């Protein structure tokens, strides 16, 4: 019973803070559209310029660009959640703010995935099982990794370790709302895998509307997650129960 009360109280507070953030900065709901367009333009440019023998450079460059875009998005979220502030210039200023922390985490994932892929080639079906376990580990245990990156001051390795501790302490409070959000985003707002530059004129408008809708929903979810993580990571259930009495 106390667990349910805490769950309801936590999400009530989080929802209120999220709505307040969006009321003050509704334009932040469009930020995913901006990143989607920037990403597709850069991907097209890099693939055209670094082709053939230069493709290895393309892979390295795209990894850094991906880390920079993630860094920018997390910087924008940090300003909204921590300081109730949104500025379009944060998109540019955030490109290198968490760049190397994000790149370090992506590199760790790359190494682990490379090892698992090598094992898969050697031992067959067992390697495939290990790969699935690793993916499940990423989805569940490291689910709060984006929020850990921008709301905590750990390095790449310690950010991963903190996620494990956070999930152990807040499994129910974290995953019930996130599971609902995940199902919603996956089944209702799944964005087509076509790129912006391969669409016909007749397909362009429906595609952009779909991207816009996805941007609004994903931005809402990420702001909600930020407020939820901040609340859970700075309190315990016992502390919240005590504060609720007042």
Q: Tell me whether residue 31 is in a domain.
A: yes
Domain assignment of residue 178, given as a range: 2-241
Cβ atoms of 106 and 66 closer than 8 Å:
yes
Distance CA 41, CA 47 (A): 10
Q: Tell me whether residue 246 is in a domain.
A: no
Q: Tell me whether residue 113 is in a domain.
A: yes
Domain tally, the chain: 1
What is the C-alpha R_g of the chain? 20
Residue 204: the pLDDT is 57
Go through 196-213 and write b for each residue having 16 or more CB atoms within 10 A of its CB, e for each that does not.
eeeeeeeeeeebeeebee
Q: Tell me whether residue 42 is in a domain.
A: yes
Q: Tell me whether residue 158 is in a domain.
A: yes
pLDDT of 112-125, one tens digit each? 878 877 777 776 66
- Whether residue 194 is predicted with pLDDT greater than 60 in this model: the reply is no
Residue 150: the pLDDT is 97
- Whether residue 200 is predicted with pLDDT greater than 70 in this model: the reply is no
Q: Tell me whether residue 231 is in a domain.
A: yes
pLDDT of 55-113, one tens digit each? 777 778 888 999 999 999 999 999 999 999 999 999 999 999 999 999 999 998 888 87
Under the banding of pLDDT at 50, 70 and 90, the label for residue 42 is confident
pTM of the model: 0.87
Q: Tell me whether residue 202 is in a domain.
A: yes
């Amino acid at each position: 019973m106390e667990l349910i009360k805490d769950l309801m109280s936590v999400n009530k507070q989080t929802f209120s803070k999220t709505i307040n953030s969006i009321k003050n900065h509704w334009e932040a709901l469009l930020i995913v559209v901006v990143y989607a367009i920037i990403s597709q333009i850069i991907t097209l440019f890099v693939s055209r310029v670094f082709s053939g023998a230069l493709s290895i450079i393309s892979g390295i460059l795209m990894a850094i660009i991906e880390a920079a875009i993630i860094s920018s998005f997390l910087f924008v979220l940090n300003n909204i959640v921590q300081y109730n502030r949104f500025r379009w210039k944060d998109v540019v200023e955030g490109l290198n703010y968490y760049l190397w922390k994000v790149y370090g985490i992506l590199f760790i994932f790359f190494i682990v995935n490379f090892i698992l892929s090598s094992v898969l080639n050697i031992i067959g079906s067992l390697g495939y099982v290990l790969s699935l376990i690793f993916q499940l580990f990423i989805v569940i245990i490291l689910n709060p990794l984006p929020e850990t990156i921008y709301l905590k001051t750990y390095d790449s390795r310690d950010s991963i370790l903190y996620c494990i501790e956070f999930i152990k302490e807040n499994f129910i409070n974290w995953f019930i709302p996130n599971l609902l959000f995940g199902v919603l985003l996956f089944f209702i707002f799944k964005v087509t895998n076509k790129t912006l530059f391969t669409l016909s004129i007749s397909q362009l408008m429906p595609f952009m509307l779909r991207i816009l809708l996805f941007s609004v929903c994903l931005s809402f979810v990420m702001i909600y997650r930020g407020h939820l993580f901040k609340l859970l990571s700075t309190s315990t259930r016992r502390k919240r129960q005590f504060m609720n009495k007042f």
